[in-house]
């Protein structure tokens, strides 16, 4: 499954993305997050990752939550994460163990460190990426916590330490959130830096090889699932739903079994 080019905001629960299996055992395979913007100041954590085999996170903006950016738990293998802007990468909260042979982090802008993962050789440590509107990690004043945002609020301003500090090539997406070709050296985050305010629309979201052109997918306020791959949709308690969940949690089971479990918590 590939989640690409989405703006996720106004989430008022535990987390925005929750790939996991509470009963133990790896049931999420080959999940890709790229060119997404997650802004969830009212959640505790932006993204939980545990019991996942094959997780790639490239050029996402995970900014920000009440506490943690990415929380890594047990049984995470074949993880690659490059060019992300995130508050932190945490291995302590969910009891994860960093294993360099299975988990690769580098070229990420991290707001604050010392959460169970050392700052990697090409990481940038900076609590303020210099977004156009969204403040740094330490600014949680009520006036600077927003429930309505646009992609333009996350554009990098001149002088940002994320500009030109990313990895190029490899798993890095060739275009940014707006669909513009990425420059070399690559910028960190979902939106590549431009001095001019050119904001095309129409980023792509891809589910299992099927591409649908949308401005964004927003999980906000009332939880409603969007499943173009015709998955069966279940709520947190395993009850099949029509795509609306009162408890704000969804379980996706794709018919071919490629992705068996994913919970999105709006």
Successive 10-residue mean pLDDT values, the chain, 266 residues: 85 75 71 91 90 93 93 93 97 92 97 92 97 93 89 95 95 90 95 75 39 32 38 48 45 40 36
Q: What pLDDT score does 109 carry?
A: 98
What is 196-223 written as a DSSP string? S-------EEEETTEEEE-S-----SSE
Q: What pLDDT score does 209 carry?
A: 39
CA gap 29, 1 in Å, rounded = 8
Q: What pLDDT score does 51 carry?
A: 86
Range of the domain at 101: 1-222
Q: Which of 37, 77, 23, 27 is nearest to 54 (CA)?
A: 77
Domains held by the chain: number: 1
Residue 233 lies in a domain: no
Residue 93 lies in a domain: yes
Q: What pLDDT score does 23 carry?
A: 61
Residue 137 lies in a domain: yes
Residue 259 lies in a domain: no
What is 229-260 written as a DSSP string? T--EEE-TTS-B-SSEETTS-EEEE-TTSSS-
Q: Is 181 exposed, middle or buried (0-12, 13-18, 19+ CB in 10 A)?
A: exposed
pTM of the model: 0.76
Q: Are strands 7-9 and 109-110 parallel, antiparallel or unpaired?
A: unpaired
Residue 251 lies in a domain: no
- The H or E element that residue 105 is part of is strand 103-106
Residue 30 lies in a domain: yes
Residue 84 lies in a domain: yes
Residue 227 lies in a domain: no
Q: Are strands 244-245 and 223-224 parallel, antiparallel or unpaired?
A: antiparallel
């Amino acid at each position: 499954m590939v989640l690409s080019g989405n703006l996720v905001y106004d989430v008022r629960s535990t987390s925005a993305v929750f790939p996991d299996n509470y009963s133990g055992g790896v049931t999420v395979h080959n999940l890709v997050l790229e060119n997404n913007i997650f802004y969830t100041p009212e959640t505790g954590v932006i993204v939980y990752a545990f019991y996942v085999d094959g997780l790639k996170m490239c050029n996402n903006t995970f900014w920000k939550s009440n506490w943690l950016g990415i929380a890594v738990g047990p049984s995470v293998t074949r993880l690659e994460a490059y060019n992300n802007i995130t508050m932190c990468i945490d291995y302590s909260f969910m009891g994860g163990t960093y294993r360099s042979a299975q988990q690769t982090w580098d070229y990420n802008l991290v707001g604050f460190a010392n959460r169970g993962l050392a700052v990697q050789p090409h990481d940038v440590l900076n609590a303020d990426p210099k977004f156009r509107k969204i403040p740094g990690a330490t600014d949680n004043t009520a006036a600077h916590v927003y429930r309505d945002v646009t992609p333009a609020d996350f554009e990098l301003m001149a002088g940002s330490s994320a500009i030109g500090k990313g990895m190029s090539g490899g798993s890095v997406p060739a275009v940014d959130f707006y669909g513009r070709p990425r420059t070399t050296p690559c910028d960190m985050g979902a939106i590549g830096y431009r001095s001019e305010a050119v904001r095309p629309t129409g980023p792509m979201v891809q589910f299992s090889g099927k591409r649908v052109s949308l401005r964004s997918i927003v999980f906000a306020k009332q939880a409603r699932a969007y499943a173009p791959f015709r998955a069966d949709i279940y709520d947190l308690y395993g009850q099949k739903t029509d795509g609306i969940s009162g408890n704000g949690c969804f379980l996706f089971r794709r018919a071919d079994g490629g992705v068996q479990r994913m919970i999105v918590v709006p």
